[in-house]
Amino acid sequence: MSDKGLILTNHHCGYGAIQQHSTTEHDYLADGFWAMQMQDEIPTPGLTATFLVRVEDVTSKLLAVVNDQMDEKARLEAMDAEGDKLAKAASNGTHYRASVRSFFGGNQYLMMVYEVFTDVRMVGAPPSSIGKFGADTDNWMWPRHTGDFSVFRVYAGKDNKPADYATDNVPYKPRHFLPVSTAGFKNGDFTMIMGYPGTTTRYMTSSEVEQTMNIGNADRILIRGVRQELLLEDMLADQSIKIKYSSKYASSSNYWKNSIGMNQALKRLKVVERKRENEAKFTNWVNANADRRAKYGQALPTIEHVVRNRAELQHALSFYNEALLRGTELIGFAVRFEALEKALADDSKAKEMAKQLKNNARAFYKDYSMPTDQKVAKAMYRLFSENVDKKFQPEGFVSNTEIANHIDKIYSNSMFADSTKLMAFLSKPNADALKADPGFKEAKMVMSKYRELRTAMEPMAYELMRGTRLFIAGTLEMNQGKHMYPDANFTMRLTYGEVKDYYPKDAVHYDYITYLDGVMEKEDPDNWEFVVPAKLKQLYQTKDFGPYALNGKMPVAFTSTNDITGGNSGSPIMNAHGELIGLAFDGNWEAMSGDIVFEPNLQRCINVDIRYVLFIIDKYAGCKRLVDEMKLVGEHPATTPATTNSKKKRK
């Protein structure tokens, strides 16, 4: 964004940092934050900025250490060891970090070398009434009117290399930064996004899709829905709890709603049926040749066998993760102390671990409400008891009628429910006190059965990896000569597309751009999701949009055909000249199945318009120093021809 390390990301990506710095006296979530001078920028421990330095194909080196006689576990262990060796050699003697990543289900391996900066400071963020406008109701929806952005700065040592926070660090000088286009765009204009998409599962089989819908998504929808309702109840009743739980709630609700939309889209778009058609085609291709039968003949049967046999375990583990380990905060936190129990046999190790756990505890209790967690825990235990078969429950797990008393006893007597008691224990930790604590005993009971189930799942996981690897290898061979791309795996990808409107259903048309008019149309002062700040209303009424308006109207967001997924949030969307025109921040409801099957006619990337970002920074926040720091560019002499091919977006 500038030659001084300025970076833009989404408001929801910076949300944790904004919440981290918020207090009841300085509520940056509610009021926003703007560093009017560089010295006002706030250090944000734990936040990093990672830059890709180079990529190397190391497939041949990893495949050289395996053979077809190895089982999948031995194969993966050998390749992991070789990958670690290559990554270590690539980073030794440098400040770089390297890792080897699997692509195409283990059929290709690339080594990524990164530069990681650890001094990142918060520079600016609009209030949530702008940065999170529409909140849960509008999440994953179009039309959208959210100013989903925040501003940070990367700092470095005097040598421009990564350095831990220090007062004499200086703004990072990048090799290149994006010019910012104020010229706008039109329907059909070329776009590209470069970012770090999390995971897609485009090679998933029909049986896996069904299990995702009926177990993974269904369980998440149920459990998170109950928990979020209880959290929101306390958040709306108490401002301090709202600050503590805002980031947790947002993180939970994001993929709760995603799961709802995904299931609906998978059914509506008949994805399972389409997958079955592809699998029939694959099977016919395999059976047409003896060599292919020998090599790939068991790929699909293996996957189907594993999916069928793991269903009960998958369901049980889903409830352990969502209801007990994540949903019940005290249990999830107490689990961390298992390592301390082992370390107490060695005094020197115990002291060091206790010191680390003190730091963890400070962060945990800063955003923790015991009464809220206690209330949620009762609901989580009830859901677990009612939905998980007894044979998969922890030995001695409390019966449904005893849950309320059981939870009350734990939270009344466990040191994990009281920060003062826990800090006193960590000052003088001892094994007997830890083992006797009811919260720790409960956590150990849960983890014992959880690990047992995970161990039972492990052979099936390796079997599935083998089936998937062979299925993808066969799919690539069957489609030889066609452009095929690997699933997203948190590594950098470029996706190209175009600014584009769409027709979500019969007789319905969605334009490609929204304006500030829509914010005012949605305003509801009695609904926290749709409150509009007074100053924004004033700017709208006076049409004080500065140089950022389009024909007297203030653009807010737009849609494009770029292929993105979770992890791409905050990625720059650029025009054909490599200039920034916005930030990707969401996908659309009609194509929530997109992580499994890309839908070129329906799938849209939702982006905040860079002109709205500049308008909020300049006219709303009055922080024009940030705009002045950017390189703004206008119209180009020649326009770029529109691209018409919206298929095969990610490369």
Per-residue pLDDT of 219-239, as tens digits, reads: 999 999 999 999 999 999 999
**Active site annotation includes 569:** yes
Residue that finishes a domain, picked among 62, 84, 117: 117
User: In 127-203, which residue ranges form alpha helices assigned H by DSSP?
Assistant: 128-131, 135-138
Contact 252, 235 (CB under 8 A): no
Query: Are residues 642 and 529 both part of a single domain?
Result: yes
pLDDT for 650 beyond 70: no
Same domain for 614 and 517: yes
The domain boundary, picked from 75, 101, 117, lies at 117
Does 487 reside within a domain?
Answer: no
Asked if the structure places residue 200 within a domain, the reply is no
Its domain, for residue 78, covers 50-117
Check which CATH number belongs to the domain holding 635 and give it: 2.40.10.10
Q: Which entry of 569, 571, 593, 646 is annotated as an active-site residue?
A: 569
- Residue where one domain finishes, among candidates 117, 145, 164: 117
291 and 254 inside one domain: yes
What does the pLDDT average to over 625-647?
A: 72
- Average pLDDT of span 374-380: 98
Annotation marks residue 12 as catalytic: yes
- 397 and 503 in one domain? no
Of how many residues is the chain composed?
A: 651
The stretch 146-154 carries a mean pLDDT of: 98
**DSSP secondary structure string for all residues of 454-473:** HHHHHHHHHHHHHHHHHHHH
pLDDT tens, residue by residue, 609-619: 999 999 999 99
301 has pLDDT over 80? yes
Task: Express as a percent the part of the chain with pLDDT over 70.
Answer: 97
Q: In this structure, are residues 196 and 567 in contact, taking their beta carbons and an 8 Å threshold?
A: yes
Which candidate in 148, 373, 563, 609 is catalytic?
148
Structural domain contains residue 480:
no
Tell me if 124 sits within 8 A of 151, measured CB to CB.
Answer: yes
Is residue 485 domain-resident? no
Q: Is 184 left (phi over 0), alpha (psi -120 to 50) or beta?
A: left
One of 2, 11, 12, 571 is an active-site residue; which one?
Answer: 12
Do 187 and 280 fall within a single domain?
no
Mean pLDDT to the nearest integer, 556-569: 96
Q: Which of 464, 487, 543, 551 is nearest to 513 (CA)?
A: 551
Same domain, 215 and 272: yes
Residues 241 and 163 reside in one and the same domain: no
% of the chain at pLDDT higher than 90: 94
Q: For residue 186, give every residue at least 6 positions away whose Cβ sits within 8 Å of its Cβ, in sequence order, or none.
A: 499
- Any catalytic annotation for residue 148? yes
Residue 165 has pLDDT above 90, yes or no: yes
Do 448 and 530 have their domain in common? no
Cβ neighbour number for residue 71 with a 10 Å cutoff:
11
CA atoms within 13 A on the CB side of 365: 16
pLDDT digits (tens, 9 = 90+) for 447-462: 999 999 999 999 999 9
Residue 451: partners with Cβ closer than 8 Å, 6 or more residues away: none
Predicted pLDDT of residue 651: 38
Average pLDDT over residues 74-86: 97
**pLDDT at position 369 over 70:** yes
Q: What is the mean pLDDT of residues 246-270?
A: 93
Mean pLDDT of the chain: 95
In a domain, 484, yes or no: no
Is 482 within a domain? no
Is the pLDDT confidence value at 35 over 90? yes
Q: Are residues 520 and 608 in the same domain?
A: yes
Let me know whether 339 and 392 are in one domain: yes
Q: Is the pLDDT of residue 348 over 90?
A: no
Tokens of 231: 């959290």
Whether 387 is in a domain gets the answer yes
Q: List C-alpha distances in Å: 409 to 158, 406, 413, 414, 650.
A: 55, 5, 6, 8, 53
Residues 275, 421: one domain?
yes
Is 607 among the domain residues? yes
Global pTM reads: 0.89
Report the alpha-carbon distance of residue 316 to residue 277 in Å, rounded: 31
Number of domains the chain contains: 3
Residue 469 has pLDDT above 60, yes or no: yes
Residue 224 shares a structural domain with residue 358: yes
Q: What is the pLDDT of residue 351?
A: 85
- Report the pLDDT value the prediction gives residue 636, as an integer from 0 to 100: 80
pLDDT of residue 352: 87
Q: Residue 644: pLDDT above 80? A: no
- Where is 586: in which H helix or E strand? strand 580-587
Is the confidence at residue 640, as pLDDT, over 60? Answer: no
pLDDT at 645: 41
Amino acid 389: pLDDT: 97
Q: Residue 638's pLDDT is what?
A: 59
3-state secondary structure of 281: helix
